[in-house]
Structure 1
């Protein structure tokens, strides 16, 4: 019996060991199968990402039949692999075009680093918030040209390095970027960012560069240990730069003053003497015969007489403005230069300055650098045409200044800033987002002002041409005022095509021309922006060719589920009693965005439909079916749809 037991005990032990070995093998096989499965998923994801690029064919080693990773070795170019999964993507200097589809990249569970430096990527700023494990993002030297949404980096708690240098990004630094707990390196140089540099927390950043943007104001204390070169090319002050100054002036204005001082006084006296006999011949017909135009003509005659600076450059001695109305206070550039001033905004299309002249009157001077192809008489005549505009929803041009190299437009300052600021403010801004009744009021005012432009500027193919939220000013009681209207005829075509909203339309992108209903399309985009709170990619600094981004913006509204989720979460003042009216306005905006210009309503029809929208009641039936049927309901009569190149 004992011998029997002695023999069976080792057999049990052997059986147990065999089972352990078997389980170990199963575990190894399971891990290997998981790795293969992950590798297969990564392969499918990377092929999808390759296909999402415009010219993804350049990635010749990305072939679906090959595995992207073998353990820690990458089989496809631009990958870093760990345990058979993709940990990093580095595709630099590949001339890649398109945008970064973060929905696809989010399927790479092990991805912590991406680098697409020195490519041709562009469009809306990618939503990196869904890549929660990301540690490094490098996108320098591409063509991204939009504003970055305030919450774009929310949730990236592991992000340590961000490089966005040398793109065309605009707007303010998003608030979510300042709250990242592990961010150490931030490169933002060479963009169009504006506003003040926010606080990032004491000693948080170990490397940062803000140079060559449009930042203004005081450098935060926690960033003052960085070299001065990291802040150059802005309107910044404080350590490590100079002390903050209260007065900001245009370089061109300063040069003008220097020329005045440097030029012989005798030339001015000579010109004034001639003027007393000839000024009626020099001033374009129909303009007010006031002191400003007289002195401007004096400078013209002086230039013709041969007066010049010591370098041989003709000297324009005029510091005088041409006023477009015979009422109101008179002043000239010298008065503006004497006053304290501040930069309101700066971009490729123009820079705006706020200045208070004697007596406390506050003016805005907008400087344009893209009008140097226009002749003097033609420019004067166009300004005369704009001076006839009188409407409660149009901001009048008070005066202008003409030089061949640049033009200045002067208007009254509006306290409540722009519609764009109120729709897309930072969380730190002490302003309240407009509620539903206010937004409806703004839309109605914008359409009334636009109709007035159509009526009083019948010779213009696009009466506005640059309608967008940053060109809608708001008074204290939120009355909208249209600005930057009617400037297509006096803007250099190459700059107009690159910068103005009308040239982002489907008809221009597909046919190379704009129509009488292009402004209607711009209005539709504006209505969608007002109702959804989303930022369309039409910003000032972007280059042409962004119709895909605007199409995506429109489609994102169409594709959302019916109900309140489509509306801006920051918009208050709406409930079930007015949801139908809100949907009605949203549908009008969508119908204005028809790709075929001939299917869009004319301005009269748009105004009639928007005036029917009320603050409450008026529930509509199915959102998508009604929208899709609207083109068949519209009349094609109204304003001419003649096209222009």
Structure 2
């Protein structure tokens, strides 16, 4: 009996406790306002929350929704709800319309699905930004979107929305960003589209099923910036001439539509390369190879222009023309000639090296008129050089003959420390040798030796080198100090540990082990290069041109971040005087030339720079920023294909630009041009093709048709990013 009584007591206590908890929970919920209820309904609509970002959305622990994750309030009213990249799955409830003061809703990159509740637009008329890209929303855009008269940013990209755009959207006259790319929208532009969105800065309608004509007054969107993307739709009819009168820096992408007729030769359209128009068989006239007929400016006999990138149809490897040529490589006689030439060249350079070494560096002891001797050892080899006094230094130069000049306040070493440091040869070129120098305190520097001559141009050298020393950007190598004397000119840089992009792409000669770069790292490197060049072109004090951009001049930091080097080096070497090519021969043993990584590739002979330079660079005297654009395009092709800028095709040799153009004309699949090391990244095909498209725009033969580096940056940033685990 006692046991039964005890059991009843326990049960009663549990029931009373549960009832009390229910009462307390009910009391807590009752303390919420309508906005709190709306947020709780959203939590109930979320099926999965693996990161627990909604864990504190709990009325029992806090009845103030302003303290919940992702919620921002003003005057105790919810004004912002931001839960991006939280792996949330579920749908949006109609009760979100109970947030009347909501200004910003950001749920990008989740797994949300379902339709957009019209109540959201009814209940939050003050909404200024609606960012839902990277989800799985479907259905149509509610007609009452026109109620959002304060809307400035609408990004619904990378979803599954369908149907036509509601006519009411033109009431959102304050829109600055409209991104509807990668959905299934259909139909034509709403009436008044171009006249309503006068503040529109970004427009991306790509990868949908829009049809009809592009409004003839679209050129009135004078606030547009970056890339205006109409690509991969079903737009038809002629290209409106007014498109040419958009701001000069706007890049217009009309690829892969059903546009017809001659390309208007108006404004900015005259400077566009063919990559902006490919995939429209009915277009004709410059810059396409398809001429228009003489009949009233008609389209003539249209022929497909498979210039880039979507014209890589899925094909069987056996259907690809020229597939067998890839394995043939150089002929036997050609290989013999190359080997004989290499042996003779190495012998001659070796003799020269031995002579100079015995005369100048053996033993490593300076004469009485030398002030410093430096002896360096690496793997049993000695390299040394002496700084010599020269009384011919002009007193009017008013500079110490052996001065180390810091260009950065953080430079804490002096010349004695530099000369006593351990040094190892990193490499040599036609402009001297580069040493890795490790100071006693562990600081590592890169020291480039420029020349021995030139005693009368110090002021010119000083002005130039100090201007370069002011450049500060995470993607540009920093010049820390310099040394000037009559006999020696040294440049002291930060040491960048992971070598050059060229070595990262092709490996180091003589080394068997090689870790190829993934596509993710390659794309990040390309973006870093662009940012560095944009800094030089537009932000640096003098709006510089690099003029010698190539993979060997792109160094890679600890995390493979790119650092552009050798900026202004050719001019400094010219001012410094001397004969740096011969100097490099006496400083280190000749290196074996880089060998091609596949029989179908031809390593550049002579000066590699020439293969990265724009065609006009061979003729023009004054460098142009468009030179760097062209060089970046060639670098991008090398990053994508893994091939040097000169390739061997059968028995002929051509530039990588010509080879890619030929592959495009022959409609070869992407796998045939892609670096074999990127085979595992074929799921990033769309992204790779997007970069290839940008690269081909950069290597246009006519400078005016190339985009600016800022346009290149915006184009790369607008690419649909693949997911990287």
Name the structure with the higher strand share. 2
Tell me the TM-score normalized by structure 2: 0.42
- Structure whose alpha-carbon radius of gyration is higher: 2
Tell me the TM-score normalized by structure 1: 0.47
